[in-house]
Amino acid sequence: MRAVGVIEGGVSVLDRADVDTDQIIPKQFLKRVERTGFGEFLFYDWAKQPGWELQRNPILATGRNFGCGSSREHAPWALEDYGFEAIVAPSYADIFYSNCTKIGLLPVVLGEDEVRAVMAAGSARIDLASQEVVWAGGTATFEIDPETKRRLLNGLDDIGVTLQHADAIERYEAERERSGPVTTALA
């Protein structure tokens, strides 16, 4: 995963609440077995509607409960491939939020009014280290889990980090692992 530090630039606005991952990347594009190239299908059906415009900017500002629905990581992949490096919204669906942090797409939570101000400003600067968003006429801080922040700042490989606990996993398996079910015994 690439490291995340400062993200600065234009803000694209999608002023809708409860945007689900079926809209972000419709199901017909989930058939691919690759991880790349999803950007051109971002908001595929909405993009065909008259009046739709979503500029390619580093920052997307949107409504609450963004990314609800399916667990498809293809949604963050598509947003990232389109050019977004950070999202600013009042809230996110849990799985979507987690998926974003796994690929270095920074999900920033701000209050409704602050998100509105970022939308109006049209550009912003997000600093993960200081957990701060600055825009013309305003500034706000955001919360993020310290461990998630550390991984993002350093671009750490999650599996590599976990394998540093390999001893603890082995100990768990030796001493505390519950019995069964052994899926391989079914075959």
Partner 1 sequence: MAGSLFDKIWAAHEVADGLLYIDLHLVHEVTSPQAFESLRLAGREVRRPDRTLATADHNVPTDGSTAAAQIRDRLSRVQVETLERNCDEFGIPAYSIGSARQGIVHVIGPELGVTQPGMTIVCGDSHTSTHGAFGALAFGIGTSEVEHVLATQTLQQRKPRSMRIRYDGELRYGVSAKDLILGTLGRIGVDGGVGHVIEYAGPPIERLSMEGRMTICNMTIEGGGRAGMIAPDDTTFEWVEGREAAPDPLPLDEWRELRSDERASFDKEVEIDASDVSPQVTWGTTPGMVTDVTAAVPEPRGEGDERALEYMALEPGTPMQEIRLDRVFIGSCTNSRIGDLREAAEVVRGRRVASSVDAMVVPGSQQVKAQAEAEGLDEVFRAAGFDWRSAGCSMCLGMNPDIAAPGERVASTSNRNFEGRQGRGARSHLVSPRMAAAAAVEGHFVDIREWE
Burial of 54 (0-12, 13-18, 19+ CB in 10 A): middle
To the nearest whole angstrom, how small is the minimum distance from the Cβ of residue 71 to partner 1?
Answer: 4
The phi and psi torsions of 103 (rounded to 5 degrees) equal -115, 5
- Cβ pair 98, 128 in contact under 8 A: no
CB atoms within 10 A of CB 91: 18
For partner 1, the binding residue among 33, 50, 53, 137 (CB under 8 A) is: 33
For partner 1, the binding residue among 28, 51, 53, 137 (CB under 8 A) is: 28
**26 touching partner 1, by CB under 8 A:** yes
**2 touching partner 1, by CB under 8 A:** no
- Cβ pair 9, 123 in contact under 8 A: yes
Please name the residue that has the structure tokens 């606005």.
Answer: 13
For partner 1, the binding residue among 2, 27, 56, 150 (CB under 8 A) is: 27
By the criterion CB under 8 A, which residues form the site for partner 1?
16-18, 20, 22-23, 26-28, 30-35, 45, 64-65, 68-74, 76, 91-95, 98-99, 102-103, 145, 147, 158-159, 161-163, 165, 168-169, 172-173, 176-187
